[in-house]
Copies of this chain bind each other. A is one copy, B any other.
Amino acid sequence: MSSHAQALELIADDLQRVDAKMQATGEVFAPLSGAINLLLDSGGKRLRPALALLISRLYPAAQREHVVSLAAAVEMLHSATLVHDDVIDGSLLRRGNPTLNASWSQGATILAGDFVFARAAYFAAETDSIRVMKIFSQTLMTIVEGELRQLYAIRQWSQPKDAYYQRIYGKTAALFAAATEASAVLGAAPEEEITLLREYGYNVGMAFQIMDDILDFVGDARTVGKPVGGDLRQGTVTLPVFHYLQSHPEALQVMQASGNGHASGVALGELIADIARSPAIDATRQEAIQFIAGARACLDAWPPSRYRQALLDLADYVVVRSL
């Protein structure tokens, strides 16, 4: 058994409770249940709830029921953002062709996303912690702001690298940080430990998104579930592109031309393939590894335990997954 699987095994019962809680959402309104189950089956790695659940094991004061609610809230919030992302991406592809059929299902999809948001907020309230509710709603604002920033940054080919880190914080790391911070809060951890655990989650989240951005270039299209180079094709500049541009400034012209619709798909496809083969990928991966080193260092303050070990293993898993 891989150390990643072993880490999840430690909290398998709680993860199952989280799943059951999420699935019950579909039962609230029958037409939703198919949509919700589809969403949950597409599943993903349950990494966010796993981190929250593992951290709670460091604190005897944590009430299991509250932590399960928190983990479900975090994963539902993540799911809701995915639902709306899909509508937003879809609307770009379908632009100019609004059919009655398309707008109908689109409306239902927007509302399904809203319902999942509502359910996430309800789970967060079930933690019976006002502080967790505030972390939760603050994080929702940060996530949406991050997505708006990403939308506004589309086809801005020359942008400061800082803007990239800010975007992936909003898009991904903020929720990881919220999950680990809120779990520590529910465990009645001392403030300095809450800060360290938030930092741990932040670092894991940053590494996770950087790896996602690498996989967009080098991943198997079937595994990743979207075409290779999709980010660049949509006009989103990610970390591998920043690294590639340092040694290939001329690539900017291909990107700009693609934005104006002047470049052939072939030119952009070649650029994407070239980035995937270039040292930019490894340079990017080194940054992810650094974030993971940062995450591990946050746990130095804790004595060895299997839960601490599991948190270290999950952090390591983030930079090796699917590669």
Residues in chain A within 8 A of chain B (CB atoms): 28-29, 31-32, 81, 84, 87-92, 98, 103-108, 110-112, 114-115, 117-119, 121-122, 124-126, 128-130, 133-134, 136-138, 140-141, 143-145, 147-149, 151-152
Tell me whether A148 and B110 are in contact (CB under 8 A).
Answer: no
Tell me whether A122 and B141 are in contact (CB under 8 A).
Answer: yes
Question: Within the assembled complex, what's the spacing in Å between the Cα atoms of A103 and B125?
Answer: 34
Quote the shortest CB–CB distance from A261 to chain B (angstroms): 10
Tell me whether A106 and B91 are in contact (CB under 8 A).
Answer: yes
Closest to A129 in B: B130
Instruction: Select A84's contact among B91, B110, B136, beta carbons within 8 Å.
Output: B110
Tell me whether B140 and A121 are in contact (CB under 8 A).
Answer: yes
Tell me whether B114 and A144 are in contact (CB under 8 A).
Answer: yes
Question: Which B residues are in CB contact (< 8 Å) with A87?
Answer: 107, 110
Question: Within the assembled complex, what's the spacing in Å between the Cα atoms of A101 and B138?
Answer: 25
Quote the shortest CB–CB distance from A22 to chain B (angstroms): 14
Given contacts A118-B143, A122-B134, 8 further A-B contacts (CB under 8 A): A29-B145, A88-B106, A91-B105, A114-B117, A119-B137, A121-B133, A121-B140, A126-B134
Tell me whether A141 and B107 are in contact (CB under 8 A).
Answer: no
Instruction: Select A148's contact among B32, B92, B152, beta carbons within 8 Å.
Output: B32
Tell me whether B29 and A107 are in contact (CB under 8 A).
Answer: no
Total copies of this chain within the assembly: 2
Tell me whether B152 and A31 are in contact (CB under 8 A).
Answer: yes
Chain A interface mostly = helix
Closest to A115 in B: B144
Tell me whether A98 and B107 are in contact (CB under 8 A).
Answer: no
Instruction: Select A117's contact among B29, B119, B122, B140, beta carbons within 8 Å.
Output: B140
Question: Which B residues are in CB contact (< 8 Å) with A137?
Answer: 118-119, 121-122, 124-125
Instruction: Select A136's contact among B29, B106, B121, B138, beta carbons within 8 Å.
Output: B121
Instruction: Select A115's contact among B91, B104, B114, B148, beta carbons within 8 Å.
Output: B148
Tell me whether A145 and B98 are in contact (CB under 8 A).
Answer: no
Question: Within the assembled complex, what's the spacing in Å between the Cα atoms of A121 and B117?
Answer: 10
Closest 6 CB pairs of A and B: A88-B107, A118-B140, A121-B137, A122-B137, A125-B133, A118-B141
Closest to A133 in B: B125
Tell me whether A90 and B103 are in contact (CB under 8 A).
Answer: yes
Instruction: Select A151's contact among B89, B92, B108, B147, beta carbons within 8 Å.
Output: B108
- Mind listing 18 A-B residue pairs with CB under 8 Å? A28-B141, A84-B110, A84-B114, A88-B111, A90-B103, A111-B147, A112-B148, A115-B145, A117-B117, A118-B137, A119-B141, A121-B140, A122-B138, A122-B140, A124-B133, A125-B134, A128-B130, A130-B133
Question: Within the assembled complex, what's the spacing in Å between the Cα atoms of A212 and B310?
Answer: 57
Closest to A88 in B: B107
Question: Within the assembled complex, what's the spacing in Å between the Cα atoms of A111 and B141?
Answer: 10
Question: Which B residues are in CB contact (< 8 Å) with A148?
Answer: 29, 31-32, 108, 111-112, 115
Question: Which B residues are in CB contact (< 8 Å) with A124?
Answer: 133, 137
Question: Which B residues are in CB contact (< 8 Å) with A106?
Answer: 88, 91
Question: Within the assembled complex, what's the spacing in Å between the Cα atoms of A258 and B91?
Answer: 28
